[in-house]
Amino acid sequence: MTQRVKIAVTGGIGSGKTAVKELLAQMGYPVFSCDEISRELWEDGVYRSMLAERFPACTERGEIDKSKLSALVFSDEGARKELESLSHPLIMRELMARMERFPVSFAEVPLLFEGGYEGLFDGVILVKREEERRIASVIARDGLTEEEVKRRISAQLTDTEREKKGVVVIENNGSFEELGEKLRQALRSFGI
């Protein structure tokens, strides 16, 4: 059987994982995203029904209300863990199936360490960015308040905690071009 190399790209919300994903795609690598697979899950009526059953307070006329569910899981750790226990195994199973088709592939995995999924990958790239820039980026991208962004940041591991996991770190505090050069250096450290 041919060896498959699977590299995870992770980091806190607003760190620049999507920019790294775009750069990898421009370089010609297959790149996948847990967030994209999660969005695809929302198209599955059975999945939405399971969510409505587990989170009845977040339903409108029998359908799960995504904004209510989001507000709940980012204010209630128990609800967040329940949602993750349902969605993460489905997302990771689909992600691994997609990555298995390529000799070298990458995946944007926001909650890699939080979910204990690092063992599924041959290497990890951690994208770091100053917190003020992360907050501003997410406010601009998602229209959230500063308080909502900080709540999401606090639900994740810190960069210091992630760095203890044996990752290749990319600092994303400069231009897109600088990020690309740092990414090329990171790839060389994996022999790619």
CATH number for 63 = 3.40.50.300
- Residue 122's domain comprises 5-189
Structural domains of the chain, count: 1
Rounded Cα–Cα distance for residues 79 and 137 (Å)? 26
Q: What is the Cα 127 distance to its own chain's centre?
A: 11
pLDDT tier at 105, thresholds 50, 70, 90: very high
Residue type, 95: L
Give first-to-last CA distance, the chain, whole Å: 20
Average pLDDT of the residues in 69-93 = 92
Q: Span 58-82, mean pLDDT?
A: 90
Nearest to 113 by CA among 67, 72, 160, 68: 160
Which has the higher per-residue pLDDT, 114 or 109? 109
The whole model's pTM is what?
0.85
pLDDT of residue 1: 43
Average pLDDT, whole number, for the chain? Answer: 91
pLDDT digits (tens, 9 = 90+) for 139-178: 999 898 999 899 888 888 788 888 887 799 999 999 999 9
Q: What is the pLDDT of residues 12-44, one digit of tens each?
A: 889 999 999 999 999 999 999 999 999 999 999
Q: Is 80 exceeded by the pLDDT of residue 2?
A: no
Position 152 scores a pLDDT of 86
